[in-house]
Chain A
Amino acid sequence: MLAQSNGLTLDALRDKAKVIRRHVVEMITAAKSGHPGGSLSAADILTALYFGGVLRHDPANPLDPNRDRFILSKGHAVPVLYATLAEAGYIPVDQLTTLRQLGSTLQGHPSKADLPIMEASTGSLGQGLSVGVGMALAAKMDMADYRVYVMIGDGEAEEGQIWEAAMYAGAAKVDQLVAILDYNKCQLDGTIEEILNWEPVAEKWAAFGWHIIEINGHDMAEILRALEEARQITGKPVCIIAHTVKGEGVSFMACNNEWHGKAPTADECAKALAELA
C-alpha cells in the first residue's frame, strides 16, 4: 500500500530546491530555449510536494493507482517538473539536458503520450485544472483517497476555462483537489497588474466556493503548513495562493521579466550556477 513518506528537513528541502534550480538553469541553457522565470518561481513548491512528505508517490511504481496526482497546468514551466522528477528518481538525471531535443521524451511542454508519468498534456494554458477536476471526481467515484494537485500560473488564470473549472469544482464540492496558484506577478507581456489585473484574486476563488490559503511560496515552512492544512479540508476544493518571485534564486533573473522565456548563455548559466552553489 502506497504510503506518505517522511519529508526531508527544512534545511535539506532548501538544499534540494537549489539542486532543482541548478538543473532548471542547465537544462534551459542546453536547450537554448525555455522558460526559466516561471520554472524558478515554482521550484520551492515542487520541492515541498515531492520531498516534503506531501505527495504520496513511489518512483518504483510511478503509475500506482493510489498515488497523489500532480498536474503542471502552466506547462511552460516543465523544466522544474522534469528536474524534480529526476531528483525523485523517475527520470535519469543525465537525461535532463535532452529537454526540447529531437526524440526526447522531455518535450517542451508536458506530453502524456511521450512521457506517461506526466498526468496530463498541458501547455495550452487553462486546461489542466479541468483535467484535475475529472481526476478528483474519479477518485470520489472509486472511493479512492488520492488527492489531485494542480499548479496554475497567474497569467494562466486569465483563461476562461480556469474559471469554468473553478466554478464547477466549487459548486460540486470537489474536495481531494488542491489548486496552487504560482503568483509570481508577471506574465509574458508584462506584470499582471499592467496586462489584466484580476485582483482581488483570493476573494474570487473564495466566492467560487474554494477554501483559500495565502502563503509566501518561497518559505518552505509556510508551504508545508499550507499543504498540510489543505489535506485537512473536506467538503470543498482548496486554492493555495502562493506569492512568488519570477526567477527566484538567480539574482539577475529575479523580478526581471526578460527571463520569462529566454535561455541563458553559457556565461549567464555559469553565473547562475555559482549563485546556486
Chain B
Amino acid sequence: MLTDTPLHELEMRVVYGNTLCALAAQHPNIYVLEADLSKASGTNPVFCCSYPDRFINVGVCEANMIGVAAGLAVEGKIPFCASFTPFATRRVYDQITISVAYAKANVKIVGTAPGITAGPNGGTHMCLQDLAIMRVMPHMVVLSPADAYELRACLHWMAEYEGPVYLQLLRGQLPPIFDPSYGFAPGRAQHLRSGGDVTLVSTGYMTSFARQAAEELAAEGIAVDLWHHPSIKPLDGESLAQSARRTGRVVTVENQSVLGGLGGAVCEFLAEQCPAYVSRLGVPDRFGEVATEEYLFNKHGFGVMHIKEACRTMMRRAQCRL
C-alpha cells in the first residue's frame, strides 16, 4: 500500500488514496464515500481493499452521497466524498448548502480533475466555477493544494478540523514545490519567492507555472513576489496586503474562471483593504471544450508566457499605492 517512492513521484490521486489509508489507521471514524468514480479519485483499490467496511459506493447518485455523508457526520464519522469536480460541487450545490454547510456537518468534499485538467472530457466535465461557488457558501473552507506534499498535509488537517471542507484534487503527477516537512494551516499563504516589483498570486495547479514564470522574469530583471494560496477561503489577506502595499501591482492566476475564484477573492479583499492594480488570469466567462492544456492556456492566456506578459504589462503601469 504505502511505498518508499517519494511522494512527488506519485500521481496525486494515489497520494489521496494512500493518505486516506494512513489517516484511517489513526482515525477509526474516517469513511470514504464514492459515487462510481472511485478508480478516478484513487480510493479504489487502495482504500476499498484496506477498509472495505469504511468504503461506501452509493452508485451514480451524487445527491444521495452528500446526504448520506451528512448523516454519517452527524453521528461522529468523518466522511470524505469524492467525484469529478462538477459533480462534487455544482451538481449537488443545494445538498451541500443545506444538508452539510447550513447544518455545520463535518463533511469533506473532494473534486477531482479540476478546471482544464479535465481536457479530453470537454465542456461538460470542465468545471471552471467550483472555487467561486464553494467560496460563497458560509461555513465552507476551500482548498486547492499545489503538490503532493501539500495535498497530504491538507488531508491531515481536514481529518482533524471539525467542519465542512472542499478540496480540489488534481489527478496526475505534479512537480514538487514543497518537501516532506510541509505543514498546512488554513488561511496561510506560502511565500515562494521574494521580489518588490509585482505580486504574483496563484493556487492549485497554476502554482508550478507561476513559479516558472517568476524564475524567468527574474532573468529579465523583474522581481516577482510569489505567493501560493492553498486556502482560497479563508484567504490570507494579511500577506496579500503586505505584498500589495510594497508592489502596488498584483497578478492572479488560477485554473478556473476569472470570475469569483482566487482572482475574485483577491480583488474583493484588495478593493476594500489595500487598493492596487490587479490583473486576473484564468479562463474568461466561457465554457470549456475538448482541448489540450497547452491549447487552452494559449486560447485564454494563462500559461507561463501569459503570466510573464501580464507581469511585464503591470510593470509599465505606475504603482498603485493608495
The residues of A with any CB-CB pair to B shorter than 8 Å are 111-113, 119-124, 126-139, 141-142, 160-161, 164-165, 167-168, 171
Pick the most buried of A120, A131, A137: most chain B CB atoms within 10 A of its CB.
Answer: A131
Residue among A123, A130, A138 making CB contact with B76, cutoff 8 Å: A138
Determine if A168 and B103 form an interchain contact, defined as CB atoms under 8 angstroms apart: no
Residue of A nearest to B139 (CB): A113
- For B98, what are the chain A residues with a Cβ–Cβ distance below 8 Å? 121-124, 127
B62-70, B145-153, B216-224, B243-251: which lies at the A interface? Answer: B62-70
Residue among B61, B71, B104 making CB contact with A134, cutoff 8 Å: B71
On whether A131 and B71 interact (CB within 8 A), knowing A121-B98, A168-B61, A168-B64, the answer reads yes
- For A160, what are the chain B residues with a Cβ–Cβ distance below 8 Å? 63
Residue among B67, B72, B73, B104 making CB contact with A161, cutoff 8 Å: B67
A-B contact pairs, 22 of them (CB 8 A): A112-B103, A112-B104, A113-B103, A113-B104, A120-B74, A123-B98, A124-B98, A127-B63, A127-B95, A127-B99, A129-B67, A130-B64, A130-B71, A134-B72, A134-B74, A135-B75, A137-B72, A138-B72, A164-B58, A164-B61, A164-B63, A165-B61
- For B61, what are the chain A residues with a Cβ–Cβ distance below 8 Å? 164-165, 167-168
Q: How many A-B residue pairs have CB under 8 A?
A: 103
- For A168, what are the chain B residues with a Cβ–Cβ distance below 8 Å? 58-59, 61, 64, 68
Residue among A124, A138, A167 making CB contact with B71, cutoff 8 Å: A138
Q: List the 10 closest pairs (A to B, CB-CB), nearest first.
A: A134-B71, A130-B67, A138-B75, A164-B64, A164-B61, A121-B103, A134-B68, A131-B71, A135-B71, A112-B103
Determine if A133 and B103 form an interchain contact, defined as CB atoms under 8 angstroms apart: no
Confirm or deny: B157 has a beta carbon within 8 angstroms of a beta carbon on chain A: no
- For B75, what are the chain A residues with a Cβ–Cβ distance below 8 Å? 134-135, 138-139, 142
Chain B interface residue count, Cβ-Cβ cutoff 8 angstroms: 29
- For B104, what are the chain A residues with a Cβ–Cβ distance below 8 Å? 112-113
Binding site secondary structure of chain B: helix
The residues of B with any CB-CB pair to A shorter than 8 Å are 53-54, 56, 58-59, 61, 63-64, 66-77, 79, 94-95, 97-99, 102-104
Min CB distance B138 to A, Å, is 10
Determine if B74 and A119 form an interchain contact, defined as CB atoms under 8 angstroms apart: yes
Determine if A161 and B95 form an interchain contact, defined as CB atoms under 8 angstroms apart: yes
Residue among B70, B94, B97, B102 making CB contact with A130, cutoff 8 Å: B70
Pick the most buried of B58, B71, B73: most chain A CB atoms within 10 A of its CB.
Answer: B71
In angstroms, Cα B64 to Cα A167, docked, is 10
In angstroms, Cα B70 to Cα A119, docked, is 11
Determine if B103 and A130 form an interchain contact, defined as CB atoms under 8 angstroms apart: no
